[in-house]
Amino acid sequence: MDNAACYAVYKGYCLVCSAEVDGTLHGRIDGIRDIVTFHAATPEALQRAFEEAVDDYLAVCQETCLPPDTPA
């Protein structure tokens, strides 16, 4: 996923993705130090997984009293 383009933005976080030969889509939140990844079978499902990952990331940061990393 190096040099990947930002395919979607949600709450200020950028989705970058790649596709496997079998069609599985892999995504990650770009521009933050933490590693947040997810996968899905369709672009629509990847978008939902991305939004859920961002929401989960922000919730975990709040629960642990740690500030979330923000994209540069």
Residue 30 belongs to some domain of the structure: yes
Question: Which pLDDT score, from 0 to 100, does residue 11 have?
Answer: 96
Question: Which pLDDT score, from 0 to 100, does residue 1 have?
Answer: 43
Task: Kindly state the average pLDDT of the residues 41-70.
Answer: 96
Closest CA to 9 of 40, 62, 66, 47: 47
Share of the chain above pLDDT 70, in %: 93
| Cβ atoms of 22 and 13 closer than 8 Å | no
Residue 43 belongs to some domain of the structure: yes
CA distance 9 to 51: 9
CA distance 63 to 43: 30
Residue 69 belongs to some domain of the structure: no
How many structural domains is the chain composed of?
A: 1
Exposure string for 15-40, b = 16+ CB within 10 A, e = fewer: bbbeeeeeeebbbbbbebeeebebeb
With a cut of 70, say whether residue 70 has pLDDT above it. yes
pTM metric for this prediction: 0.88
Residue 17 belongs to some domain of the structure: yes
Residue 1 belongs to some domain of the structure: no
Domain containing 39: what range?
Answer: 8-63
